[in-house]
Amino acid sequence: MRRIAGSARYFRSALWHRKFDYWSSFTTRPKDLTENYHNCAYGVTNNAEIESFLRSKFMVSRALSTDAAASASIGEVHRAAAGPLVEYERRIIAGELLDGDVRQLGTLEELQRLYDELVESADACKLDRYSSSEKSGRSRWLWSRLLPQSSYSPVKGLYLYGGVGTGKTMLMDLFFYQLPCNWRKKRIHFHDFMLNVHSRLQKHKGVSDPLEVVAGEISDEAILLCVDEFMVTDVADALILNRLFRHLFNNGVILVSTSNRAPDNLYERGLQRDLFLPFISTLKERCVVHEIGSSVDYRKMTSAQQGFYFVGKGSSEVMKQKFRDLIGEHEAGPQEVEVVMGRKLQVPLGANGCAYFEFEELCDKPLGAADYFGLFKIFHTLALEGVPIFGLHNRTAAYRFVTLVDVMYENRARLLCTAEGSPFQLFNKIVTISDAQQMAPRTSSRSMRNDEADLCVDNELGFAKDRTISRLTEMNSKEYLEQHAAMLAGKQLS
């Protein structure tokens, strides 16, 4: 196997010398970007041709090693010529992705490393769902009380972090969907993951250690856990994560995660952060931490100003007319949506998969990710009236709006909204502590300008705003709306 691994490394090296890179999660290319890459060959090739090309490329590299040529089997060749790196190259050949940014090579190398290690250690990691234990969470917990044991996975996970719009989610998904279907694997957004954890804790209330039971249930379902947008802003989540993941890692769970924040910056300046710090140490022990180095926000390279983001006087009537056009002959009326743990969310107006809210009704009330996930299980389009400029006076509403946009983006929902400014202008008064320290200090003899009177210094919100601005820009693009339409068409067919 060392000989085969050496050949596989040579194969990947040959691909890397192509100096390719990804282009966000889009499968269509804007015209202006295509023109910039007119010197590249993007011929659309069928799967048989691509497979033949990759196999011949691998066989050439195999021939350079006589030892490998003598011992490699056909099955080993197929396994070596597989994984996220090969799939990435296939998509470039097929014209589904653009190449050109060499700064992403390290990320692809880490994903391929993890893929190779998982394939090599699939039995030791107990990834095959059909050969795994069928014990329930409670019985597993009882069994562990009688025979306590720790079974850390022999494979370390991966924690990817970097700036907004650099393709973290696309790269993780590329990795996830190359893994065998029979493996115990799960891909989930962090908000959804924590809602699931809280729901399970409620179900197991009364058990001496419900977190251990919950961890047992989660690890029974998925040994490989891919969590997108790892972020910690809630003190309850912060206090849970340390003990929860200690149990998960003890059960052999392998974590693959994406985040905008480095591990050491998670839950920065949060309440009772000292109780959260052991989780950071555990995370760094059980995962390879890798920064995605690209400084390009590929979401902003889409054809913006194609959607339904309205700014200015009179925009309210324009949006309402768009809403009426979308619901067609259906009559909009009040509706009720069920969310987790029996909660209900009142929808002022809803019809034909479209919901209409005033901003205050959705972001000024005590709502959260659970309510928003429940909303977009029923509705695919949101019309939101009156998004304000955010500052110190409405910081809580800003947090809710950030969460709302995250949930909409995860569900590929369509947004119609009226706002007091562009996405950038909405968050102009939200700054991190570092940003605030770089501002010129005010003395008693200098009055504070009006535009600084409502300045909000908030680290978590300051980092989150870049992601929200980026996503609002993409959600307003032709490419995103095409993805939304394709998602609806797929649901109708199913």
CA dihedral 296, 297, 302, 305 (to 10 degrees): -130
> Which residues in the chain show pLDDT less than 70?
1-81, 97-103, 132-150, 165, 294-306, 440-452
Q: What is the DSSP letter of 208?
A: S
d(CA 162, CA 311): 31
Half-sphere exposure of 365 (CA within 13 A, CB side): 12
For the chain, how long is the longest CA-to-CA vector? Answer: 83
d(CA 238, CA 240): 5
Give per-residue pLDDT as tens, 64-76: 333 333 333 334 4
d(CA 136, CA 219): 11
> Three-state DSSP class for 455?
coil
* 71 φψ region: left (φ > 0), alpha (ψ -120 to 50), beta (else): alpha
Residue 305 contacts residue 476 (beta carbons within 8 Å): yes
In 212-297, where do the E strands start and end?
A: 224-228, 254-259, 287-292
| Cα separations in angstroms, 119 against 173, 178, 179, 181 | 17, 11, 9, 13
d(CA 263, CA 372): 27
Residue 361 contacts residue 400 (beta carbons within 8 Å): no
Give per-residue pLDDT as tens, 382-393: 999 999 999 999
Domain ranges of the chain: 1-100, 104-301, 302-493
**What is the pLDDT, as a whole number, of residue 459?**
86
**What is the pLDDT, as a whole number, of residue 99?**
62
What's this model's pTM, rounded to 2 decimal places? 0.68
**What is the pLDDT, as a whole number, of residue 482?**
87
Residue 466 contacts residue 162 (beta carbons within 8 Å): no
**What is the pLDDT, as a whole number, of residue 51?**
46
- Residues 6 or more apart from 492 whose CB is under 8 A from it? none
**What is the pLDDT, as a whole number, of residue 17?**
41
**What is the pLDDT, as a whole number, of residue 54?**
43
> Three-state DSSP class for 347?
strand
| Arithmetic mean of pLDDT over the chain | 78
d(CA 266, CA 238): 9
**What is the pLDDT, as a whole number, of residue 166?**
72
CATH topology of domain 104-301: Rossmann fold (3.40.50)
